Amino acid sequence: MAGTTSLNKGSTDRTALTEKLGVDIDPELLELALTHRSYAYEHGGIPNNERLEFLGDSILGQAVTVKLFRENPGLDEGDLAKRRASLVSSVALAQVARSIGLGEYLLLGRGENQSGGRDKASILADTVEAIIGAAYLDLGGDEATALVLRLVEPLLDDPARFGAAMDPKTSLQEAAAHRGAGLPVYTVTNSGPDHSKTFHATVEVGDLVTATGEGTSKKQAEMSAALTAWTELTKRRARAPRG
């Protein structure tokens, strides 16, 4: 039982996380940012990270908008909006979260933990936003903005990702065709009550790659799975030896 409780609480040593974030956020605020509502409910209704998520979402959007506006003077409003959407989407933020191992530190309820909550795109994305909100409250706007830009920098440095993140299913289909594979095949299931369902998608690209994703809708789950599969195919192509 002790092991289960420890797992639900995530890693209590957050030194590695703060090093990856590049900011030393007040420990109490950071713990709040990592506290999912399922954990809060199981512990007597303690505060959870949803208010911080609300704040962080606004800071994230502003930081990314200003960055894109200043660095892309040739893009019109529509293109800027599409790029922003690709950078602040749940799919993109979940990938940012996975790159820093954020799932290890989440505070989850038992049920959420057992159902794979540490790798759920929606939970990971929300937690990234909550951490941004915590950084703003503790360290101010400049530090929070700098944190946002550090987190999304890998996405900004990969122009191909903009197209994939905006339409991952089409991008995956094109990548599969380029590799001589058939059309991607999706399988979707769902769980949870009618008012709060979670959809789980698996996509198979021949025998090349199988990836999963989840979301609050069938479309979101398929997009998450497709982007993960596209990313894996792209990495494999980059690693392939050149003749």
Q: CA nearest 212: which of 194, 187, 237?
A: 187
**214 annotated among ligand-binding-site residues:** no
Edge to edge, what strands does the sheet with 198-205 contain?
185-191, 198-205, 209-215
Give the span between the Cα atoms of 116 and 127, in whole angstroms. 15
Cβ-based neighbours of 131, under 8 Å, separated by 6 or more:
21, 25, 30, 33, 34, 52, 56, 147
**24 annotated among ligand-binding-site residues:** no
Long-range contacts, stretch 11-14, CB < 8 angstroms, 24+ apart: 11/104, 11/105, 14/105
Burial label, 104 (beta-carbon count in 10 A; 0-12, 13-18, 19+) = middle
Only one residue has tokens 């799932």, namely 103
3-state helix/strand/coil string of 172-201: HHHHHHHCCCCCCEEEEEEECCHHHCEEEE
Instruction: Spot the catalytic one: 13, 24, 26, 57.
Output: 57
8 Å CB contact between 152 and 68: no
Instruction: Spot the catalytic one: 129, 138, 214, 222.
Output: 129
3-state helix/strand/coil string of 28-84: HHHHHHCECHHHHHHCCCCCCCHHHHHHHHHHHHHHHHHHHHHHCCCCCHHHHHHHH
**77 annotated among ligand-binding-site residues:** no
Q: Is 24 a catalytic residue?
A: no
Q: Is 194 a catalytic residue?
A: no
Active site (catalytic) residues: 57, 129
Binding-site residue set for Mg(2+) = 53, 126, 129
Residues of each annotated binding site = 53, 126, 129
